[in-house]
Structure 1
Amino acid sequence: MLPATADERLSQARIMLERRGIADADLLAPPIRDSWTRCLAAGLDPERPPPLAMVDDATLREARDRSDLALRLARTEMKNLYHQVAGTNFMIAFAAPDALLLDTISDSSFSATARATAIRPGSLWAETRCGTNALGTTAQQGQPITVHGGEHFFNRYGTLTCTAVPVFGPDASLAGVLDASSDCRSRQQHTRALVAMAATQIENGLFRECHHASMVIAFHSRGEYLHTLNAGLLALDPDGAVLGANPQARFLLQGLAALPGSHFADLFHTRLGSFLDGARTRERQRLDDLVGSAFVATIETLPQPRRMPSPPRASRVLPTGFIADDRRVAEVVRRVEAAAARKLPILIRGETGTGKEQLARHAHLAGRRTGEFVPLNCAALPDSLAEAELFGHTDGAFTGARRGGAPGLVVEADGGTLFLDEIGDMPLPLQAVLLRLLDDWTVRPVGGGKRRTVDVQVVAATNADLERAVTAGTFRADLFYRLSAVEVTLPPLAERRDFGAIVRHLLSEIAPDRSITPTALDRLAERPWPGNVRELRNVLSRLSLDEADRPIDLDDVDSLPEPPAGLSRHQAPSCLRETVQQRIRAVHSDLSGNISETARRLGVSRNTIYRALRASMPD
């Protein structure tokens, strides 16, 4: 029979955790159970917490600079929270997306607790090191959580109750974590609601700042909520295209695609022109959406007047030749740079040919490593020689050993970076040895010899499903969690927004005297690119072989062999595909066949419109 009270169940759960290394599902709330499970898989011992990691002042300043706007907005909300809970032995904290504590406010009664647990700016509260804790666990899972007393993985934090809520930016990426901590005796049931409200206030501030030069509409079904946290916020460009919507706007417009690229007319019956005209004479207006809901709305900010187009912005080309104009890719690069600055292990995911090694080389440069960049293809390691290849061997250690021995790739990477490509194919015995390296950073050659301490930045890459490999028992869970201290994913080429910049950069490397016409570039963008950037480089090499005195044009691209149908990345079910095509044809007809206006209205490329129209033509 299970213990009757929550405290009794938690006490029993801790006994099972500390004695048997088990996170019992019957005794714990699911978020705590899942976190304990991750901690155990990461190799943490609940009775032996590692020292709390601290960054130096320079690294803390850099982190604060990267989160400047979010931190400034958070400080205002932290002060408000402090006054709401002052006198109740609380600390309010804000952390970066990687759980690095950026700032705190606490009352004097909590100061001793903060000192004892090192809760101060510059401390790193990642779950993989500090175990289950509100800051780190929220950063890990992107969901609010309260961790009370013994629910912390390590007993050193067992006197605390901590509530944390994620703060998301306008692009839905994690912008930070807001936390309120107290000793267990001061636990308050309303704390989570207060912290959640403060987090929403920060998110709305980030949204408004991001769209300060655009038209921002606030709306709600009830007028009294129009200027509260419950209001939906919608950002539009001067033509009515949706630039962004906060979570409450997407909630209020359920059933409608309130996403960047859609249009005001795709959401509301009210005409945009009429809505703008009404704003000149009255503050509040009625908005009726396309599924029958009515709202009260007001324009918070008006769009800026149109300006002459600026010259094309120069592409961001990393020293390794990697293009980072796509917003998602730029965020990946930023995270890799931040991780490399602190020498955290990095796991890069992505399909073959997406540029994982280029990004790893950039991590090497960003970390200002003075040693060599040493790549290793784990899939090419023979099981029998894998350990010797990685950690070196002594003279005569095995049949065929190199005379005089060899230092091994890890020693070659001392002071530099070891790039473990196709890490999912690393033999299981070698995984255990690599895990020991990550624990103590010492190397001992096969066959004996003196141990050596090394300073190595480890970057791993894979296109495999490591989670499935862990479940199948072909990849160690503890190694997976150690390697993925910072995990990023490179999108496939077909999903990137900087396709044109990539083409132009590759062409400048392959054939500096050749250019490409816009129509040819658009046609290239229609291809599925299963081989990603690597395939694109090969295609451009082929296209640039002849006639250097003219640009690559549409005829050149159309002469390329059609990609095999089975390699297409985006083959939607036929019913969905037909529904999308019908929508495109309807809008195209309503706009009297104007391709550009149809593309703008639907928020897609002109090539998508052409494809849908061609699909409707009889064979």
Structure 2
Amino acid sequence: MRGSVDEDLRQARILLERTGSARTGLLAPEISASWTRCLEAGLDPHRPVPLEEIDDAGLQVARERADLARRLAVAEMQALYNQIAGSNFLIAFADPDGILLDTIADQSFRAAARTANIRPGTLWTEGRCGTNALGTVGATGRALTVHGGEHFFTRHGSLTCTAAPIFGPDRTLVGVLDASSHCGTRQPHTRALVGMAATQVENGLFRHAHHGDLVIAFHSRGEYLHTLSAGLLALAPDGTVLGANPQAAFLLQGLPALPGRHFDDLFRTRFSTVLDRGFSPEQQRLEDRVGSVMIATIETAPCRKALPGIAVSSATKCRMPARMARATPLPRAAFVADDPAVRAVLRQVAAGAARGLPILVRGETGTGKEQLARYAHEASGREGAFVPVNCAALSDTLIEAELFGHAEGAFTGARRGGARGLVCEADGGSLFLDEIGDMPMALQAVLLRLLDDWMVRPVGGGRSRQVDVLLIAATNAPLEQSVQAGRFRADLYYRLAAVDVRVPPLRAREDFAAIAGHLLASIAPGCRLQPCALERLQHLAWPGNIRELRNMLVRLTLTEPDRPLDAEAIEALLQAGPAAARPLPDEAERIPAPGRTPTLRDAVRNRIASAYRDTGGNLSETARRLGVSRNTIYRAIGKSANATTR
């Protein structure tokens, strides 16, 4: 069969190059139609048109224009690369105009990519570059594989290219995802993988467009509820349909899943019944208007004011996982996670970790970002170590050596025999970069290169080695503002935020009582909170979040660890001053040891510790108030514990 197809293609090329015609019977219909369009556009298969390219400024404008779709696509490109790495591939994303915005290539394919000028800024429209998967999909809006001689121009005949369109929620084309390889190394499953990646991006766009609406995921089989096969339906507070993804229309078999129709037009299960069941990751049973049974769950819900009948946190818009590739049981969290928003974050993190995607964890100080990072490591199933790194605590001059290792004699004070570096220690496991917003610009460029190929080269020489690391970053700083201010690289930000989650603050969580009980049980097992005390605690602001709550419970139980805690005990502690209810890192403000005279350095540290306490342990706010760097704050509060022993 292959010989027959190859012979037909050979005959078709002879006719194309000799007579300038596209013989329909010898080619797949989509290839024949493309050749015909190329001939009608005046293209000559013997004379390729010079590749058009835009300058850096134009490329930046194009990238900004496609911002959201590009961010989602780059994350999927990285996932695709991880799946097919080593198979001589290049993965590319282009905008609707055919401008190549981003590429990720195997080392083995980079020479071929340079030869073919496959690089960001080049234009790959069908009308200029002839039949090619990226350009032809952009012209037709249909997924396609173009193999070898099926390319209109012979110069691309050594390549096999597979591309899939990406449509926005309004079904307009927003981009094209492409995977290219040498003909001899093409993989039969590539088209399915590219199509799945495109669908992931489309679902991400749908969820983003309806992030403030009620979004329901459904499928006829519960095990497919969190896969690409699930339908997504966006609804207004009154049940009016705002949007549906293509899979929703497919599952509803012609029922009017159109904007403006009502939920009750599609399902026998009333919309009010769905709301009465409340916001929960638990599955619900729905019956559509033709009698088919669907399993559903509410993925996203607006605030309680918008949906009076739905039980969600009034301070949170809850998002369920947008990137889960398959339905897998979640590992049990080692911390309290009874809040719907937190459960949604866990699912999203678990799905991203299982696929090896970079994860960015945001949240105020003390919300448990490192605990979530450890949960991601467990969910990934990796057998390597979990290696935490506080970027704010590393020396600006040695941070690269700390991360990537160093050769012997690389710098003054270098360890004899050199050092592996933290990234290599995390090989096969997870690297947690806390306070990522404090990473120096120079190192950001190095980290970006690491994310491209995961090759580590020690400072001062030595052989490079490839590592397999799940990267998790965390910050309580607004990275978008840092990008705008030029303090953080935009390209690194987009790479780190493949899975972007936010841990809700303690004051917004619905499981406050469970958290307080869990902490108290670990601090003083014989102690308990009376209802009046719990109610008083729930009304505090908690700028230091869970860390601050733990500190207060510790202080409350210091004198009588077995006595029930009442509201009076809490009031007495609050009246003792702000310090009683604020977290202090390592008891940062200390009295000098006997016999030691306070120094100017002690005074500086005490002032920093006081400001740190007054901001609830917020490094950024403390640095802003004092007019110093975050590193200075961290060093002061970190070293203070040793001050009394000198």
Structure 2-normalised TM-score?
0.50
The whole-number CA distance in structure 1 between the counterparts of 2:333 and 2:392 is: 24
| Compared CA separation, residues 333 and 230, structure 1 to 2 (3 A) | closer
Measured against aligned partners, the alpha-carbon deviations of 1:334-374 in whole angstroms (never above 9, x if no partner) come to 11111111221111000110001111111112212222211
Cα pair 1:234 1:242 within 8 Å, conserved: no
Decide whether the 8 Å contact of 2:279 with 2:310 is kept in 1.
no
Secondary structure at 1:152 match in 2: strand
What are the equivalent positions in structure 2 for 1:327-342 lying under 5 Å apart? 327-342=340-355
User: How far apart are the structure 2 equivalents of 1:387 and 1:30?
Assistant: 30
Which digits, 9 at most, give the CA deviation of each residue in 1:390-426, with x for residues without a partner?
A: 1111111111112221111111112221110000000
Answer yes or no: is the 8 Å Cα contact 1:242–1:259 preserved in 2: no
**Counterpart code for 1:443:** V
Q: What's the CA shift for 1:557?
A: 1.8
Q: CA deviation at 1:499?
A: 0.5
The one of 520, 534, 548 equivalent to 1:507 is: 520
SS class of match (2:401):
helix
Does structure 1 residue 152 correspond to structure 2 residue 176? yes
2:307 aligns to what? 259
Q: In the alignment, what sits opposite 2:272?
A: 235
**Contact 2:330–2:379, Cα closer than 8 Å, also in 1:** no
> 1:379 Cα shift?
0.8
Looking at structure 2, the residues matched to 29 and 345 of structure 1 have their Cα atoms a distance apart, in angstroms, of 21
2:58 pairs with 1:22: yes
Matched, 1:348 2:361: yes
AA at the equivalent of 1:543:
L
Note closer, same or farther for the CA distance 1:201–1:427 as it changes in structure 2 (3 Å cut): same
The one-letter amino acid of 1:404's match is G
Pick the aligned partner of 1:367 from 366, 370, 380. 380
Q: How far off is 1:509 after superposition?
A: 0.7
Q: 2:336 aligns with which of 304, 310, 323?
A: 323
Letter in 2 for 1:397: A
Which of 396, 404, 416 is equivalent to 2:417? 404
Amino acid at match of 1:536: L
CA distance 1:116–1:348, change in 2 (3 Å): farther
Q: CA RMSD in A?
A: 5.2
Shift, 1:195, TM fit: 8.0
Kept in 1, the 8 Å contact 2:63–2:70? The answer is no
Confirm or deny: 8 A CA contact 1:377 1:422 kept in the other structure. yes
The question of 1:433 aligning with 2:433 is answered no
Q: What's 2:392 paired with? A: 379
Q: 1:337 to 1:155 in 2, by over 3 A?
A: closer
SS of the residue corresponding to residue 144 of structure 2 reads helix
- Distance in structure 1 (CA, Å) of the matches to 2:53 and 2:365: 40
**Matches of 2:388 and 2:518 in 1, distance apart?**
25
Partner amino acid for 1:329? V
Q: Does 1:535 align with 2:559?
A: no
Task: Letter of the 1:228 partner, please give it.
Answer: D
SS at match of 2:265: coil
Aligned-residue sequence identity (percent) comes to 45
**1:84-99 alignment, distance < 5 Å:** none
In the superposition, relative to structure 1, how do residues 482 and 244 fare at CA in structure 2: closer, same or farther (>3 Å)? Answer: closer
Spell out, residue by residue over 1:563-584, the C-alpha distance to the aligned partner (whole angstroms, 9 max, x if none): 869979xxxxxxxxxxxxxxxx
Counterparts of 1:442 and 1:522 in 2: how far apart (Å)?
53
Matched residue of 2:360: which SS?
Answer: strand
Alpha-carbon contact 1:372-1:413 (below 8 Å) kept: yes
In the TM superposition, residue 549 of structure 1 has moved relative to its aligned partner by 3.9
Contact 1:392 1:407 in 2 (8 A): yes
CA distance 1:397–1:204, shift in 2 (3 Å): same
Unaligned 5+ segments in structure 2 are 1-40, 42-49, 79-91, 94-99, 107-139, 149-161, 181-190, 218-225, 232-240, 254-259, 281-303, 312-328, 582-613, 617-646
Change (3 A) 1:419 1:18: same
Q: What displacement does 1:331 show? A: 1.1
> Deviations for 1:521-560, whole angstroms, at most 9, x for unmatched residues?
1111111100000001101111122334432122222222
Q: Which amino acid aligns with 2:425?
A: E
Q: Does 1:134 align with 2:160?
A: no
Asked if structure 2 preserves the Cα contact closer than 8 Å seen for 1:337 and 1:367, the reply is yes
1:113 pairs with 117, 136, 144, which one?
Answer: 144
Shift of residue 244, structure 1, vs aligned partner: 7.2
* Residue aligned with 1:468, SS: helix
- Return closer, same or farther for 1:555/1:114 CA change in 2, 3 Å cut-off: farther
Q: Secondary structure at the match of 1:339?
A: helix
Residue 236 of structure 1 contacts residue 244 of structure 1 at CA under 8 Å; is this kept in 2?
no
- Offset, 1:516: 1.2
Question: In structure 2, how many angstroms separate the alpha carbons of the residues matched to 1:410 and 1:24?
Answer: 31
User: Offset of 1:134 from its aligned partner?
Assistant: 2.1
Cα distance change on mapping 1:482 and 1:510 into 2, 3 Å: same
Q: Which residues of structure 1 form unaligned runs of 5+? A: 1-7, 9-13, 53-108, 118-129, 181-192, 206-220, 246-255, 264-315, 569-619
Q: 1:24 to 1:401 in 2, by over 3 A?
A: closer
CA drift of 1:467 comes to 0.9
Question: Could you tell me which amino acid in structure 2 is paired with residue 22 of structure 1?
Answer: G
CA shift at 1:19, angstroms? Answer: 5.1
Answer whether contact 1:16 1:24 (CA < 8 A) is retained. Answer: no
Structure 2 CA distance, aligned partners of 1:386 and 1:469?
Answer: 20
Q: Distance in 2 between matches of 1:407 and 1:357?
A: 23
- Alignment: residue pair count: 387
Distance in 2 (CA, whole Å) between partners of 1:396 and 1:410 is: 20
The one-letter amino acid paired with 2:166 is A
Residues in 1 aligned to 2:67 and 2:360: alpha-carbon distance in whole angstroms: 25
By how many angstroms is 1:15 displaced? 8.0
8 Å CA contact 2:382–2:429 kept in 1: the answer is yes
Deviations 1:457-504 (A, max 9, x none): 111000111111111111111111111111111000000011011111
User: Is contact 1:164–1:178 with CA below 8 Å preserved after alignment?
Assistant: no
Alpha-carbon distance between aligned partners in 2 of 1:455 and 1:177, rounded to the nearest angstrom: 26
Match among 470, 474, 482 for residue 487 of structure 2: 474
Provide the secondary structure at the position in 1 that maps to 2:389: strand
CA deviation after TM superposition for structure 1 residue 380, in Å: 1.3
Q: Distance in 2 between matches of 1:318 and 1:197?
A: 30
Normalised TM-score (structure 1): 0.52
Q: 1:116 to 1:550 in 2, by over 3 A?
A: farther
Name the CA shift for 1:535/1:23 in 2 (closer, same or farther; >3 Å).
Answer: same
How big is the shift at 1:144? 3.9
Change (3 A) 1:440 1:194: same
In structure 2, C-alpha distance between the alignment counterparts of 1:173 and 1:179, rounded to whole Å = 10
| Residue 458 of structure 1: aligned partner | 471
Matches of 2:519 and 2:331 in 1, distance apart?
Answer: 13
Indicate conservation of the 8 Å contact 1:242/1:260, yes or no.
no
